[in-house]
Amino acid sequence: MKIPVAIVDDNSQNRLSLQEKINYTSDLKVVLTAINGNHFLEQMKQLPESAYPSVVLMDIEMPEKNGIEAVRTGKQLYPNLNFLMLTVFDDDDKIFEAIKAGATGYLLKDEKVQVIIKYIQQLVEVGGAPMSPRIARKALGLLGKASLPEKEDDVSGQNECDLSSRELEVLKLTVDGYEYKAIAEKLFLSGHTVRKHIANIYHKLHVTSKAQAIKLATKNKWI
């Protein structure tokens, strides 16, 4: 079964080009396109739940309702949808606001379409929070500067011994901004094995995203 994808972008050329390239693949299919956040939410109301997209590629700067506002509303109405920001903006404020709104990941439009498709597949297969390397480094910097209070049990009981030495290597490379393929090449592993290690890391650390794993690793100085 193909992964159903939605594209929300006010630039018709970008939207149609991405739609064509995604539909050309054997694993993904665009089931909804919209020109802004309001248009997306209106179309979602007309769809039966069985026809919902699994992943929504969301631009940020759009008229009427921008991408961050659309994610904030959409996440409340459709909590199981994965909103993946796809934008030209890499400034800290946009990244922080998108994550707070409920975005699952954050990609830059200068990524190759094949890379975007790979991120979508990984998101559906093993979860996590896909991020362009430049965004991952910025997100790590934001976490390092953050001083938000945490619940005492958020990281209690976590110990680096919970992870195998190989899982720690994968985690370190993830924090450094490497993606699955690069990690596989660096550690001489298959892509499937790397995805399995990532899934095990999330399970052992009781997290559901790359950002949470990075936060725990940084806080506990495991890497």
Domains in the chain and their CATH numbers?
3-142 (3.40.50.2300), 151-219 (1.10.10.10)
pTM greater than 0.85: no
- β-partners of residue 131 are 106
pLDDT digits (tens, 9 = 90+) for 184-204: 888 888 878 888 888 888 878
Say how many CA atoms lie within 13 Å of 58 toward its Cβ. 36
Residue 83: closest CA among 209, 223, 222: 209
pLDDT digit string (tens) for the chain, length 223 residues: 789 999 999 999 999 999 999 998 888 999 999 999 999 999 999 999 999 999 999 999 998 899 999 999 999 999 989 999 998 877 777 888 888 888 888 888 888 899 899 889 888 887 777 777 777 776 666 665 554 444 444 444 444 447 888 888 888 888 777 777 888 888 888 878 888 888 888 878 877 677 777 778 777 777 6
d(CA 84, CA 49): 19
